[in-house]
Amino acid sequence: MKRALIVTGGGDCPGLNAVIRAIVKRAAQEKDWEILGSIQAFNGVLWEPSELKVLTPDVVKGIHFQGGTIIETTNKGGPFAWPVKNKDGSYSAVDRSDEMIRKIQYMGIDAVISIGGDGSQRISQALYEKGLNIIGVPKTIDNDLSTTDSTFGFQTAVEIATEAVDKLVTTAASHNRVFVLEVMGRYAGWIGLNAAVAGGAEVCLIPEFPYDINIVKAKLEARFTRGRGFAVVVVSEGASLQGAGLSVEENDEVGYENLRLGGAGSALIKQLKAAGFEPDMRETVLGHLQRGGVPIAYDRVLSAQFGVKAFEMAMEGDFGKMVAYRHPKFISVPLIEAIAEPNLVTLDNALVKTATGLGISLGIDLPKE
């Protein structure tokens, strides 16, 4: 009997369960494979006693349209930075990766399939370099992983953000207001840009292009005549004013290593007021609503394709690789390539041209072609 272990790491993402189900269903067609899930990323292996769940077709029945992950996840700690409490109450990060790899091998696990974003795939690569048979599946609503055309969960997040723009347009128009919608995406503006185009926002501010407040103000003022008018601004959580830093929130959770972004929308409203912009403004922060709930059909299909391919890679022993979607194919790419560069919006991206072609301001002067 061969064994594959699934881990879901980092922030949850619509489609995780659909990937898990696809792996299990594909594996069930082979008589000699057992699929296990580690609870809460690699914690399930590292805990004493360990917490693994046997994933049979029965266990994964009907989960493809459930949000979240049935094997839980975490974006804290991990095998290379396991938090250990010191006598004085502080925490130190301990590298438990060697011990974990030994444990996984002792458990008779032939392949690990790690479903996660850039942080998780960095861990996958480091574990692979230490000898673990590991395969990555690209997961993130941010769509910031390169080497794949798309990550699952992203289109669902865009759908939710677009719905929010649609709703804000009607209330903005009724009240002659400017609505600022803050969306997720970390350092990538894909969710913001797609939602702005799909929802018909007037301004879209993304992390890749720090904005000039006077350009934003001029665009919004042009939407008002004698105090009447409205506009919707989509602002990515990682967007910032030219020369200013990111908007961040404090976070004292043990082992949380990311910068917690937040406040870009309210910062923008303050900057517009300070610049003399007069119409009423309101802010909506969409937050984790973009990550919860059912995946849209596109993401379920993508997840199924990733899951089936990942299991086939496990059977073939194609380790140290990540599944990637390169239309119309599903291929495997070295993890090291997948984590080398993030996938960010560039000025020459077709969607940037579409957005500006629609008259959406990105808050910057665009270079003349």
Q: Which residues bind ligand F6P (CB under 6 A)?
A: 11, 75, 117, 140-142, 184-186, 237, 261, 291
**237/57 Cα distance (integer angstroms):** 39
Q: How far is the CB of 174 from ligand F6P (least distance, A)?
A: 30
Q: How far is the CB of 288 from ligand F6P (least distance, A)?
A: 6
Residue with tokens 């914690």: 43
Instruction: Give the residue with the Cβ less far from ligand F6P, 93 or 289.
Output: 289
Instruction: Give the residue with the Cβ less far from ligand F6P, 60 or 184.
Output: 184
Instruction: Give the residue with the Cβ less far from ligand F6P, 262 or 363.
Output: 262
Instruction: Give the residue with the Cβ less far from ligand F6P, 153 or 307.
Output: 153
Give Rg (Cα) of the chain: 22
The active-site residue, picked from 12, 110, 142, 144, is 142
CB-CB contact of 103 with 45 (8 Å): yes
- Joined together, the tokens standing for residue 48 give 């004493």
- Joined together, the tokens standing for residue 241 give 């004013």
Instruction: Give the residue with the Cβ less far from ligand F6P, 186 or 321.
Output: 186
Give the HSE-up count for residue 235: Cα atoms under 13 Å, Cβ half-sphere: 32
Walk across the sheet containing 111-116 and list its strands.
52-54, 33-38, 2-8, 111-116, 134-138, 321-326, 329-334
Instruction: Give the residue with the Cβ less far from ligand F6P, 254 or 366.
Output: 254
Q: Report the candidate in 159, 161, 155, 166 with the shortest Cα–Cα distance to residue 265.
A: 161
Q: Collect all residues with Cβ–Cβ distance below 8 Å to 109 and sequence separation of at least 6.
A: 3, 4, 5, 36
Q: How far is the CB of 260 from ligand F6P (least distance, A)?
A: 6
CB-CB contact of 152 with 303 (8 Å): yes
Q: How far is the CB of 128 from ligand F6P (least distance, A)?
A: 22
Does residue 57 have a cis bond before it (omega within 30 degrees)?
Answer: no
Residue with tokens 């953000």: 161
- Joined together, the tokens standing for residue 94 give 């301990």
- Joined together, the tokens standing for residue 336 give 């090291």
Instruction: Give the residue with the Cβ less far from ligand F6P, 37 or 185.
Output: 185
Q: How far is the CB of 75 from ligand F6P (least distance, A)?
A: 5
Q: How far is the CB of 292 from ligand F6P (least distance, A)?
A: 10
CB-CB contact of 134 with 112 (8 Å): yes
- Joined together, the tokens standing for residue 2 give 């061969």
**360/233 Cα distance (integer angstroms):** 9
Q: How far is the CB of 263 from ligand F6P (least distance, A)?
A: 12
Residue nearest to ligand F6P (CB): 184
**128/137 Cα distance (integer angstroms):** 14
Which element (helix H / strand E) includes 313? helix 297-316
Is 365 tagged catalytic? no
Catalytic residues: 142
